[in-house]
Amino acid sequence: MKHAILSTLATTLLIGASLPALAQGKPEKTDVHIAAASVGVTYLPLLIAESKGYFKDEGLNVTIAAFSGGSKALEALVGGSTDVVAGAYSNTITMAMKGQKLVTFAAQVNCPAWVFGIAKKDEATITSAKDLKGKRIGVSTPGSSTHMAVNYIVHKAGLKPSDVSVIGVGQAAGAVAAIRAGQIDALIVNDPVATILVSGGDMKPMAEMRTEEGNRKVFGSDYPESSLYSTKAFVDANPNTVQAVTNAIVHAEKWIASATAKEVTDAVPSKYLVDDKALYQTAFENSRRCISKTGVLSDQGAQTVRNVLAAFNPEIGTAPIDLKGTYDNHFALNADKKFSQQAAGKGQ
């Protein structure tokens, strides 16, 4: 009897020890609105979490509103019409400089997977970034993360942001139409549009931000971009809701990591797909290495983003920004532990 009691007690203690990593209260807010800066490949965790029902698994009713770029999605958050933004981590830094506290709680990528390319009609005259002076460059929206990247690219070439004309063209059909119609001379865009334009001969890559080498050449190291963030007030008031959203995103990332390109493409809602599924599969493979597997934003990545922003905006370099306060990894770490434990349990 004594051994049985001790055995039961030991089992109870073991179960109790594992509960903190998995225990989670009910979401404070079950209806959650997410403003997405893009629905490209670097936003796949969000799209897959929706299509595979991972948000519902976490007790959430999520509504996703797609915007033409990060600055518009950010406006929705600041204006109070959305709860969360799926957009660029860099926004949390630029807003911190203005005294507004935003917090990234789940990274969707480790690198931005952008391609910066030259329109076919300009290939002969634009052979390096210094030739961009006076040219029209397409970004998702002015003030977005793609705009910031363009600023950095021209800065490294010895130009000022004012030396080029920036035009908002979105990251989907508008971007394709703008470059094919000759409305812009260069474009920064993510997949699947990047693959569509490069494979079709409409755009010649000048800078590649999908590979480790490409990110090192442009930024010095991988540059985390697409993430989920909200106001610090919302995160502090709704920790269970934020954890539930993060769980769904990390669950999707784990699934993507083990899925085939076809399985991923089949799981993407048709409204976010290009007409050619085979092309989308290729686009996914081109950007696959950038998709996060844990939702965690690295300290090095955060510092790289600040360094890039500070290069053309000295105020960011000198402002008393609490960089650690712009992201909170504990939600992603909890989610990663939860699904790692579940995977280990299934393997037993």
Residue 164 near residue 139 (C-beta atoms within 8 A): no
Peptide bond into 239 cis (omega under 30): no
Residue 84 near residue 32 (C-beta atoms within 8 A): yes
Determine the average pLDDT of the residues in 249-272.
94
What does DSSP assign to residue 327?
Answer: B
143 confidence band (pLDDT: 50, 70, 90): confident
Kindly tell me the burial class for residue 167, based on how many C-beta atoms sit within 10 Å of its own C-beta (0-12, 13-18, 19 or more). middle
Work out the number of other CB atoms within 10 angstroms of the CB of residue 156.
Answer: 17
> What is the average pLDDT score of the chain?
90
Give how far the C-alpha of residue 72 lies from the chain's centroid of Cα atoms, to the nearest Å: 15
Instruction: Name the amino acid, one letter, at 90.
Output: S
Q: Is 86 helix (H, G, I), strand (E, B) or coil?
A: strand
Asked if domains 28-111+224-347 and 114-219 share a fold, the reply is yes
Check pLDDT > 80 for residue 323. Answer: yes
Work out the number of other CB atoms within 10 angstroms of the CB of residue 109.
Answer: 27
pLDDT value, residue 173:
85
Give the span between the Cα atoms of 96 and 75, in whole angstroms: 15
pLDDT value, residue 15:
36
Peptide bond into 320 cis (omega under 30): no
pLDDT value, residue 195:
92
Q: Quote the pTM value.
A: 0.87
Instruction: Name the amino acid, one letter, at 244.
Output: A
Give the span between the Cα atoms of 84 and 190, in whole angstroms: 21
pLDDT value, residue 247:
98
Give how far the C-alpha of residue 120 lies from the chain's centroid of Cα atoms, to the nearest Å: 28
Nearest to 185 by CA among 221, 150, 231: 150
Nearest to 309 by CA among 68, 92, 85: 92
Lowest mean pLDDT among 84-88, 162-166, 311-315: 311-315
Lowest mean pLDDT among 116-120, 167-171, 282-286: 167-171
Give the span between the Cα atoms of 72 and 260, in whole angstroms: 33
Residue % of the chain over a pLDDT of 90:
78
Over the stretch 4-35, which tens digit does the pLDDT of each residue have? Answer: 433 433 443 333 433 344 457 999 999 999 99
pLDDT value, residue 347:
63
Provide the token pair at 7: 């055995």
Over the stretch 80-128, which tens digit does the pLDDT of each residue have? Answer: 999 999 999 999 999 999 999 999 999 999 999 999 999 999 999 999 9
Give the span between the Cα atoms of 169 and 187, in whole angstroms: 9
Nearest to 115 by CA among 54, 171, 59: 171
- Torsion 19-238-269-141 (CA) sign: negative
Residue % of the chain over a pLDDT of 70:
92
303 confidence band (pLDDT: 50, 70, 90): very high
Determine the average pLDDT of the residues in 184-188.
97
pLDDT value, residue 8:
39
Q: Where are the domains of the chain?
A: 28-111+224-347, 114-219
Q: Is 110 helix (H, G, I), strand (E, B) or coil?
A: coil
Nearest to 286 by CA among 269, 255, 259, 261: 261
> Which of the listed CATH numbers 3.40.190.10, 3.40.50.2300, 3.40.50.300, 3.30.930.10 matches domain 114-219?
3.40.190.10
Over the stretch 202-225, which tens digit does the pLDDT of each residue have? Answer: 999 999 999 999 999 999 999 999
Give the span between the Cα atoms of 90 and 164, in whole angstroms: 22
Give the span between the Cα atoms of 92 and 46, in whole angstroms: 19
Q: For residue 80, which phi and psi values (nearest 5 degrees)?
A: 85, 10
Provide the token pair at 256: 């993507």
pLDDT value, residue 63:
97
Determine the average pLDDT of the residues in 152-172.
93
Q: Is 323 helix (H, G, I), strand (E, B) or coil?
A: helix
Lowest mean pLDDT among 93-97, 157-161, 267-271: 267-271
Lowest mean pLDDT among 36-50, 124-138, 307-321: 307-321
Whether domain 28-111+224-347 has CATH 3.40.190.10: the reply is yes
Check pLDDT > 80 for residue 49. Answer: yes
pLDDT value, residue 103:
98
Place of tokens 């942001």: 161
Check pLDDT > 80 for residue 294. Answer: yes
Q: What is the DSSP string of 209-270?
A: -SSHHHHHHHHSS----EEEEEEHHHHHH-HHHHHHHHHHHHHHHHHHHHS-HHHHHHHS-G
